[in-house]
Chain A
Amino acid sequence: MTGDEIWGVVKILLKYLLPTLKVFGFTLLYSVPLGMIVALLKMCRFKPIKWLTSLYILIMRGTPLMLQVIVAYFAVPMLKRSEGMPQLVQSLLDTVDIQADSYLFNTVLVAFVLNYAAYFAEIFRGGIESIPKGQYEAAAALGFSKRQTFFRIILPQVVKRVVPASSNEVITLVKDTSLANVVAYAEITMKAKQQMQNYSSLTPLFIAGLFYFVLATVLTVIFSFIEKKLDYYK
């Protein structure tokens, strides 16, 4: 490929950087809080809730994300076509417009959020459980309320401890966005593949790889900055 052609591919991929970042950003936005909730549910003393949460995590971590994206995409149209749905479900299904452009993005997002929340939940649970019990007791002895104990003493330490493990997940997420192309969500990888066909060359794929590399480098720098900022006792 000539320099001009490569530049042409770069320009196309730049245009589809936004859809890639959209999946990345919204997945983080929703999966981190959801992961926190799932972590707390998994530590719940009421056993059935704990079991259900464990099952959810097992399924999400135990099946490929690619498959989950496909399931999320085809679930609504398939349910729509099946007969004998309860009235409530049917009317809910009718509100979804599968022809709309937003439908594709929303289904991709649902799969990504549910998947990443499961991974984040386990990271957060590990973080919360790593805090020694003595700290709760000490806080109680000093007259801290339970809410104060959690937000002022436990949570700040948890945040510090989960950052390295979370950065792993976040960097993986940037690259996982490429899986959205199994339902033809137009993002960098899909466009690179199309240009690959157009030029009959593998070069567009390598250019896409460079895009992910740059994104991951930026995230690495951000996370090392965050870790340094959080390192206030050393």
Chain B
Amino acid sequence: MNNNALNKMKKLLAGVTAAMFMLTAAACGNNDSSNSGNNAGGSASSSAAGGDSTASGEDDSLQKVLDSGKFVLGLDASFKPMGYTDENDEIVGFDIDCAEEVCKRMGVTLETKGINWDTKEDTLDAGTIDCIWNGMSIDEKREERMNLSEPYMENSMVFVVPADSTAAAMADLADKTVAVQNGSTAQTLLEESEIGDSCKISPLATNVEALQQMDLGLVDAVYLDSVVAEYEIAEAGKDWKIFTDGSESEKYAIGFRKGDQALRDKVQEILSEMKADGTLAKISEKWFGKDVTIVK
């Protein structure tokens, strides 16, 4: 009996929602058309070049960036001092200054886009960004999934403990809790280190949380980038000590899509230019007080 009423209700509601969806579609359509000016050319050339690439092995990644006039840099904007959000909600950092200069020399504008660090490779593959440039350490898995630039800076993973800690060397941390940033190379290195099996590893979302937990006594030590640790001790005057042993050196690189060789090479070439004319050293001095770059 009431089914008929329900049926009518269904029709009515279906009509209302259909209308709503059409409105949204129209709204989205508008958005698309406003962008289509830039994109029509881009997508047309990309499909054409896509056809070529299989034939002649050329890629249009550089041309696409030049055509669109913007280079989209993906970062999680929370890695101080490489690329982070400052107190004015602006994205700044050593990497950002370098990228700005690279873009200036390429004749395009730099656009920064926030990404989730856990899904960075997928975001890069998805095509919403052109590169990942956020103090990213080189490791095998990343080399497999991305087309990495030459290393531009050296970093090491170090143990940090509170100044009053009784631990003084890596061996003292057996049976202790060590915090690392989840998904970082520090985590992998620590797991593979000689105390990896004996200590309790606590993977936390960010280095800040890890250091905060250490200050509160929840964990005994933190294994993290020396860049961060030294910056915190120098800038925030934290009362921590860094172990001299147990550090693993590694290098930072910029990540591009596997196929985007032309774009990678261009950025690499400009970085080398910047190293040669001293621009890179100047940026490095601004952030680290000395030239820490290793670009050739």
Contact = CB atoms under 8 A, between A and B. Distances in A.
Nearest to A11: B89
A147 B16 contact: no
A43 interface: yes
Contact of A33 (B2, B13, B114): B13
B126 A106 contact: no
Contacts of A78: 126
Determine the main DSSP class of B at the interface with A. helix
Nearest to B205: A193
Contact of A99 (B72, B86, B122): B72
Given A5-B87, A95-B32, A36 B13 contact: yes
Interface stretch (B149-157, B184-192, B207-215, B288-296): B207-215
B115 A184 contact: yes
B191 to A, nearest CB: 24
Contacts of A145: 5
Contacts, number: 135
B84 A194 contact: yes
Interface stretch (A57-65, A161-169, A195-203, A212-220): A195-203
Determine the main DSSP class of A at the interface with B. helix
Contact of A196 (B5, B72, B86, B208): B208
Contacts of A70: 119
B6 A150 contact: yes
B5 A197 contact: no
A183 B236 CA distance: 30
Contacts of A147: 5, 8-9
Interface of A: 5, 8-9, 12, 15, 30, 33-34, 36-37, 40-41, 43, 45, 70, 74, 77-78, 80-81, 94-100, 102-103, 106, 136-137, 140, 145-147, 149-150, 154, 181-184, 186, 190-191, 193-202
